[in-house]
Structure 1
Amino acid sequence: MKLCCHPELPPSAQIALTLRAVAGLTTAQIAHAYLLPEATVAQRITRAKARIRETGARFPPPTSPVDRLEPVLTVLYLMFNEGHTATTGPTIHDVELSGEAIRLARIVCAEQPEHGEAAGLLALMLLTDARRAARTTARGALIPLDEQDRTLWNRPAIHEAVSILERTLPGRPPSQYLVQASIAALHDEAPSTAETDWPQILILYKLLERVSGNPVVTLNRAVVEAMVHGPAAGLATIEQLSDNGLKAEMHRLIAVRAHLLERAGIRVGAIEAYRSAAQATASSPERDYLLARARRLGDYLVLK
């Protein structure tokens, strides 16, 4: 991965090429990770290959143990995300891909035990993957976080990740993976949704927004805003997002809007949004889940 993150390429091209050539993700999966059109990512990868040919088709080794480590961490992060929530196909998990990302993250941490973001990334992966057994039914249907059986969560993995954070966080400035891992730890250590420290999670999301500048972080914050200040506050955050360039057709944006409309009691609007989100996703489990939410609300309206 470090070799593929060629020094003659900009970071975005390093990551895209490595995801395609080494991690084996499809162009469509990479485009989803970047919130970009597939054609844009394909051009980026083509230009990266051409640039490497222009430089003599050589892959110079890193100059130090931390050289090119940042793009490699991004590659591992995106690999894990695709494995944890597959963007296409009949199942929500690609366990082989997420497991490989965790394995490689452990290798990085073993080689760089004092690297804060490497430790934060491993902790984040462990905390997220710890909930995998409770995310789906026996038939593969999605179960939302607030309905999951928390006794199925992998407690040894949670304890390991929390120990990593306790060793790594003190004295360090906030950084993307450490903040995300801190949010995941608050979720995983809470006995229930009602007992989750939502105000603290909201503070961390606002901090993460400043660190990352990622609109998906703002989308996640909208859900937490609703937990702390009510669904109207979450919907207002989503409208700000729409005004700031996050694609309106992005299925996750529409799905979050549907969830908040449901919480606000705007059931007809929620049904329409759930159906629109289902049409926009290429994941069969996500589509089935969104349509099931719409049907449930429709049945409620009929009974009422």
Structure 2
Amino acid sequence: MTSEAGETEEAAVLPETLARTVGEYERHLVSERDLTSHSVRAYVGDVTGLLEHAARLGLSDVADLDLRTLRSWLAKQQSLGRSRTTLARRATAARVFTAWLARTGRAPTDAGASLGSPRAHRTLPPVLRVDEAEQLLRAATELADDGSPVGQRDAAMLELLYATGIRVGELVGLDVDDLDQDRRVVRVLGKGRKERTAPYGQPAAQALRTWLDHGRARLVVEGSGPALFLGVRGRRIDQRAVRTLVHRRLQDVPGAPDLGPHGLRHTAATHLLEGGADLRSVQELLGHASLATTQLYTHVSTDRLRRAYQQAHPRA
């Protein structure tokens, strides 16, 4: 296994009993927790690394996992140069795994219940200023005015991303019926298949109406299905195409940071809080499981306020 620092950790061959447990855990994550394929790979990879470490220590049964082994694994990760963020994530993966072991009777106790983890450095990428966001969307609208279905689609996607702060995976997963154009809300299926409703404003409503009334019909093919946004070949658009679009359109905004769709999500959250929205409302809009995640955006607003104060106040 290769660490972030470039050092290597020799992988151990998992005993059959441990390998079988990993397979059972993966099936649990897929069928019962309904996680994305990316999340499943991450959890299984972390748990496999933990059990490889345990196997090197002579453990051959998950029932024998204890807190000392878990801490030893994290200490080994730290010695290999893992970042605090990675260590925190792996500690979480270990706790979720040991809780599952105890809950399903595979272990007598939950060895990870008392496992601590380093506080991760949680940083947010840059966000657009309000004028930069307006310039981005104004340019997209002008492109849509040429009547091309791709331009109309791109304008609708950018407007919806900024209006609602939805994730790019949530955007590409939308179907036409997920829109309620009369109430100007969209039904979103988020992480863990949790459903929420996100409102959007008049500019996004106009862009979506133009796309649905004029653009989408020109890209539809037999296999399009109910997908709201289509690629040039008529299939449901994929995440890479949306990321490419955002990066490309931001190149036309002078001085704007190079952001992807997630940067527009951060931008939407920051602008909402700066405009006076309360944390709970923003948490619900973004689909955050924890209010602590939403509170990160208040740091961005405070930093901006501090910079403005230092630049403008005569006694700063």
So what's the TM-score if we normalise by structure 1? 0.29
So what's the TM-score if we normalise by structure 2? 0.28
Looking at both structures, which has the greater relative contact order when contacts are Cα pairs under 8 Å and sequence separation is at least 6?
2
